[in-house]
Amino acid sequence: MNGTEIMASSNKSHFIQTYHQYPSLNSLFRNAPITTGALLGFVLLISVSGLGWAKELEVISIGIRGGMNFHDAGLPPGEKEDFEQFEVFSVVGLPGVWESRSGWETRLRLYGSAGVLRGAGDLGFITTVTPGLAFTKKSWNLTFDAGAGGALISDWKYGRQDIGGPFQFTAHGGVSIHLPGNLVTGYRFHHMSDATIYGKSRGVDFHMLEISYSFESG
Rounded Cα distance, 120 and 162, in Å: 11
Per-residue pLDDT of the chain (218 residues; tens, 9 = 90+): 554 454 445 544 544 444 444 444 444 434 444 544 555 455 445 444 455 555 789 999 999 999 999 877 677 677 788 999 999 999 999 988 888 888 999 999 999 999 999 999 999 999 999 999 999 999 999 999 999 999 999 999 999 999 999 999 999 999 999 999 999 999 999 999 998 899 888 889 999 999 999 998 75
Looking at residue 217, its pLDDT comes to 73
Strand partners, 131: 110
Q: How many CA atoms lie within 13 A of 66 on its CB side?
A: 5
Burial of 84 (0-12, 13-18, 19+ CB in 10 A): middle
CATH architecture of the domain formed by 52-214: Beta Barrel (2.40)
Q: Which long-range contacts (CB under 8 A, 24 or more apart) does 22-27 make?
A: 22/195, 22/196, 22/197, 23/196, 24/195, 24/196, 24/197
DSSP summary character for residue 76: T
Cβ pair 65, 113 in contact under 8 A:
yes
Helix (H, G, I), strand (E, B) or coil at 26: helix
